[in-house]
Amino acid sequence: MSQAPIVEVDPIHPQPRVVDRAAKVLEDGGLLAYPTDTYYGIGCDLLSKKAIDRLYGVKGRDRRKPMAFLCPDLSDVARYAKVSNFAYRYMKQLTPGPFTFVLEATRLVPEMMQSRQRQVGIRVPQAPLMLAIAAKLGRPIVTTSATDEDGEVLTDARGIKDKLGNRLDLILDGGLQPSEPSTVVSLINDQIEVLRQGKGILVMGE
């Protein structure tokens, strides 16, 4: 299988041609590698079952453990998760940012992307590149950290190509990206519960 090409990109002011190319790869059911505000990720179109299957294979992840997905803005989150007024106000303080919010899924979310409790993890990252690609695609992007077969985090495009290049379709090179996971916050039943402390610092507002 051929190696995925590497395309350089400005992650803060992404070139429109790169955004278009990446969105087309996802739309066609491909797998993409990219920098975010927390790590290099690999991802696919939320509504492509075949691509999600491929992503689980690349990651070597238990299919009973759903991956998070990212949306371009809060209004999009409300299409895929049940967002109360409380949750909306809280997320508005923290997005875009390095947080993953756990919420109840709506019917638009494929069952394979939900936990047994019908919950989902959703991000609106502080990553202009990924927000632009998700907006261009018009659907959320399933996302997981880029790691090798031993679970070691890959922090640059060259490392991703060396380890995963023959299983991806495009690699976006945004430079070295030190890996620090997002903070995972459950907002189920309007209760704030930190499930994993990561890069994000919580705002304990109303």
Could you tell me whether strands 119-123 and 170-173 are parallel, antiparallel, or unpaired per DSSP bridges? Answer: unpaired
> CATH 3.90.870.10: does it fit domain 6-196?
yes
pLDDT of residue 1: 58
Quick one: 189 exposed, middle or buried, by C-beta within 10 A (0-12, 13-18, 19+)?
exposed
pLDDT of residue 114: 85
pLDDT tens-digit readout, 128-175? 999 999 999 999 999 999 998 888 899 999 999 999 999 999 999 999
pLDDT of residue 205: 52
pLDDT at 95 over 60: yes
Domain ranges of the chain: 6-196
Residue the block writes with tokens 């903070």: 183
How would residue 206 be classed by pLDDT, with cut points 50, 70 and 90?
very low
Across-strand partners of 194? Answer: 185
pLDDT tens-digit readout, 79-89? 999 999 999 99
